[in-house]
Amino acid sequence: MSMIRDLRAVVRPSLRKNSASKYDSYDATRDPSASSAVVDCAVYREGRRLESAPCVTPHEAMLRVRESGGFAWIGLHEPTEEEFAGIAAEFGLHPLAVEDAVHAHQRPKLERYDDTLFTVFKTIHYVEHTELTATSEVVETGEVMCFTGRDFVITVRHGGRGSLRNLRHRLEGDSELLAKGPSAVLHSIADHVVDGYIAVAGAVQDDIDEVEIAVFSEPAKGSKRGSDAGRIYQLKREVLEFKRAVSPLLRPMQLLSERPMRLIDPDIQKYFRDVADHLARVHEQVIGFDELLNSILQANLAQATVAQNEDMRKITSWAAIIAVPTAVCGVYGMNFDYMPELEWKYGYPLVLMAIGTICLTIHRMLKRNGWL
């Protein structure tokens, strides 16, 4: 560990010394017609956005922060390594965190690198559908990474949904909260993500109720019991995806709400407790969804087994009825000379009546016992 600290001490000053030139060279070589990964870049002082001098680059944003105080909030959407290299150098971000932010597909977590907190959130969006099928996509996931320092916040978003634009506008309308600095932005992002979980949990509950009603109600004409296994399994997979987003976030929210941190304002830390409480409630719901779907799937398979047993009983019953004429006709089909009633003119109708009577008796007995 001491070797790593020494290496950081050597690398960090050189990064900061060359940060401006690296960023400028990156920006100068960019194709002007290409779309930038920077969605928004602004400096906030005393809870208000400095509109008098809009930011052009993150480098200029930090210059204004150092001149006038406040903090910078830079928002990016799916940056490439080249696009993020200058920003990482400007703010001295750790290479491991930068790699995670660029390549995404990370587990929700909270990590500390020197004077920077790196937080990963999984965003969940409910996919509307007219009918739940065995191939329906129920939830769509994305990611929001947040670098939080003393005087900056960098958000990196992956996925087509989960935009933070409305959140930024809402925060800009609450100058008292935004004046708390970068930790207020981190809390608002966490609260925004967890509120999304709550909304998705309600929609998924409706889908589970729909499947549950379909399993335990009378099947529609032309359909068989046990035919909902595909829908249940698909819904269970989507709930598992939901669970992977919620469960790992419990520990980071607990740390942010309970453990004192230099980068987290004590007044904001109280708000993290509310977020942690909401997250715990959603986690309990998701665990309940998983267990309920297990029970529904088992009930569906049991119904399919019962339906197969009923079919086998019917087949067996009809086989028993058909066995009577088969046996009698088989006996009289043997070419022997001395067989009873072969020469009697009423023998044939008598045998037919006997076969019919026995078959009707067996049918009545099986029907009374519920086999037919």
Tens of pLDDT, residues 180-236:
989 999 999 999 999 999 999 999 999 898 888 888 877 665 555 556 788 888 888
The CATH number of whichever domain residue 352 belongs to comes to 1.20.58.340
Residue 171 lies in a domain: yes
- For every residue of the chain, which 3-state class applies, written as one string? CHHHHHHHHHHHHHHHHCHHHHHHHHHHHCCCCCCCCEEEEEEEECCEECCCCCCCCHHHHHHHHHHHCCEEEEEEECCCHHHHHHHHHHHCCCHHHHHHHHHCCCCCEEEEECCEEEEEEEEEEECCCCCCCCCCCCEEEEEEEEEECCCEEEEEEECCCCCCHHHHHHHHCCHHHHCCCHHHHHHHHHHHHHHHHHHHHHHHHHHHHHHHHHHHCCCCCCCCCCCCHHHHHHHHHHHHHHHHHHHHHHHHHHHHHHCCCCCCCHHHHHHHHHHHHHHHHHHHHHHHHHHHHHHHHHHHHHHHHHHHHHHHHHHHHHHHHHHHHHHHHHHHCCCCCCCCCCCCCCHHHHHHHHHHHHHHHHHHHHHHCCCC
Final residue of a structural domain among 278, 304, 330 = 304
Tokens of 74: 């830079």
Residue 358 exposure: Cα atoms within 13 Å on the Cβ side:
15
Beta partners for 124? 141
pLDDT at 306 over 80: no
Q: Quick one: pLDDT band at residue 19, thresholds 50, 70, 90?
A: very low
Residue 253 lies in a domain: yes
Residue 270 lies in a domain: yes
- Pair (315, 166) in one structural domain: no
The residue with greater pLDDT, 340 or 31, is 340
Block residue for tokens 């809009």? 54
pLDDT of residue 21: 36
> How far, CA to CA in Å, does 163 sit from each of 128, 148, 177, 288?
18, 18, 20, 29
- Pair (333, 289) in one structural domain: no
pLDDT of residue 363: 85
Average pLDDT over residues 27-35: 37
pLDDT at 42 over 60: yes
- Pair (189, 300) in one structural domain: yes
Task: Tell me the residue type at 262.
Answer: R
- Residue-wise over 70-90: b if at least 16 C-beta within 10 A, else e? bbbbbbbbbbeeebbbbbbbb
Q: What is the pLDDT of residues 90-102, one digit of tens each?
A: 888 999 999 999 9
| Residue 329 domain boundaries | 308-369
- Pair (263, 347) in one structural domain: no
pLDDT of residue 222: 53
- Pair (160, 215) in one structural domain: yes
Q: Quick one: pLDDT band at residue 341, thresholds 50, 70, 90?
A: low
pLDDT at 337 over 60: yes
Among the residue ranges 7-16, 215-224, 268-277, the one predicted with the least confidence is 7-16
pLDDT of residue 47: 84
> How far, CA to CA in Å, does 63 sit from each of 38, 107, 154, 323?
17, 33, 16, 96
Rounded Cα distance, 251 and 162, in Å: 22
pLDDT of residue 23: 36
Q: Quick one: pLDDT band at residue 323, thresholds 50, 70, 90?
A: confident
Residue 18 lies in a domain: no
- Pair (219, 283) in one structural domain: yes
**Reported pTM:** 0.74
**Domains held by the chain: number:** 2
Residue 15 lies in a domain: no
Average pLDDT over residues 43-64: 78
pLDDT at 343 over 60: yes
Radius of gyration, CA atoms only, the chain: 35
- Pair (239, 209) in one structural domain: yes
Region for 370 from its dihedrals, namely left if φ exceeds 0, alpha if ψ lies in -120 to 50, beta otherwise: left
Q: What percent of the chain has pLDDT over 90?
A: 29
The CATH number of whichever domain residue 132 belongs to comes to 3.30.460.20
**Cα angle: 16, vertex 18, 20; to 5 degrees:** 90
Residue 8 lies in a domain: no
Q: What is the pLDDT of residues 78-87, one digit of tens each?
A: 998 888 888 8
- Pair (244, 285) in one structural domain: yes
- Pair (160, 219) in one structural domain: yes
Residue 195 lies in a domain: yes
Contacts of 285 (CB under 8 A, 6+ apart): 201, 205
pLDDT of residue 161: 77
- Pair (324, 293) in one structural domain: no
Q: Average model confidence (pLDDT) for the chain?
A: 81
Residue 49 lies in a domain: yes
Q: CB–CB of 113/94 below 8 Å? A: yes
Final residue of a structural domain among 284, 304, 324 = 304
- Pair (294, 315) in one structural domain: no
Q: CB–CB of 266/334 below 8 Å? A: no
pLDDT of residue 175: 87
> How far, CA to CA in Å, does 351 sit from each of 57, 181, 319, 332, 354?
102, 100, 20, 10, 5
- Pair (296, 331) in one structural domain: no
Average pLDDT over residues 293-316: 82
Contacts of 6 (CB under 8 A, 6+ apart): none
Among the residue ranges 37-46, 128-137, 243-252, the one predicted with the least confidence is 128-137
pLDDT of residue 12: 40
